[in-house]
Structure 1
């Protein structure tokens, strides 16, 4: 930005171009200044463009940019219906203008205003698509064309041909109008209806402000949040996984063979049909002792494993 401060007074008719720039945050004053900056003649524009191209003259670049700020303001007004701040649209358009100035060739036989218009619109289009809150609002070339033309086409239809949605009080396209839009933009009727729904849908705050009350105070963030990703939940999950793998293995290794087999058969073994391992009576018959004795061994083994797991944790 400092390079633009050296723009000649002759071309812009002010002693210091930045002396007329308003304070930050005053959009109306900025627009007023941009509209007062004089346009360049064809000879001046050609001269500055050649200086920039041949000598990388930043003062010449500044003169070209400042003289076309009003073009950005004018184009940005066409995109105010997308719910984005006018200042942001102007800022993105200025980025497109600077890109156009950098790539402009004065020997192509066109004025900078015609060349820059496409760069300014492209930059604003990209900004709108990136910041539009609906997910995947326009992914293909045809859908992008539909996204940027549907609103203006709706406004062009006669008022008596639009149906009023009694619930939302928003104008919706009739069946004939949907067909006209689809034919003119070469898209499917279903795509027109889907895009209209997205454009007419209101935005919802994910996290309402603390001052909100009632239903609005409970935003989608409350049920969209994944509690399993919280740090404490992650730590607990890792601890459980460690105990269920390394911990159990270590606790079983501390048992004698008989106790380990009884615990595995009773608590860890699962058959193909979903049933568990051996019962107390089956284990008792296998070892030639009573079922009560097997139960006592199991209880003692579980107590020993509990101590081992506590020290492991």
Structure 2
């Protein structure tokens, strides 16, 4: 009887273990970072205090974008209660945070078995306590969409907000859609395989996903304040970042500009004809006016034709361009992968 009871207890314990493994959800958080260890250390402490459903297994992958400052000992020996592991993915060169995200996602796709991937910045402006909210929204919508955190409230200064406002409206004018999200997002594992083959995420993560037409959802999330250090995004970085997001839709932008050039070309031809008719059939004579106007219009027409030709060649060449495929080419940028030991 004792042996039978022990056998029943063994199978009951095994069944409970299997149920726990079945109900456990693996969550991998990808964080790009460049010389931002102090803010990152505080961010990991906040992530460790996230209130997530029981059975959620958290693992962090920090994509070290070729930092020139060594990992501090305090981070290397930081203790965690809910985070199961903190990993460092060291890159061979600095590629920028957008490309660092692409490499991180590809590495996770190839080497991790997970249910969800969270992408967030390492400065703390992406509030880690909103991860639970993103997970709940994903569960409610069937876990078949990428959940982006829409920036409902920003914490930057007025100058940054002004130029960001210009960027958003310029993007909407040229591309035709609005962009109000950053990197903070939740990806179900079933969609990671689709994201890692998007060539455009190498230049801009969110714009690349928008362009790919992968199902996504935007959720309003207030922007938090930086935890430590100085912001890396200055005016030059903002302009570069904005141009990268617009370049993802280069063929759309080029086509729109080409149509505008054609319209201007037609208007110039109409004005040129009007000048000729007025000069020949009327006596509204101002000495030399027709010559000056015609010369200006012809010069403008030549410039429009040249610009239109250049845009046409750019659009046609981009259709046949050999693209960078992140999941295929990311490995050339990976230098090392190791786990921090508390």
Q: TM-score range by the shorter chain?
A: under 0.3
TM-score by length of 2: 0.22
Which structure features the higher share of helix residues? Answer: 1
TM-score by length of 1: 0.24
Which structure features the higher share of strand residues? Answer: 2
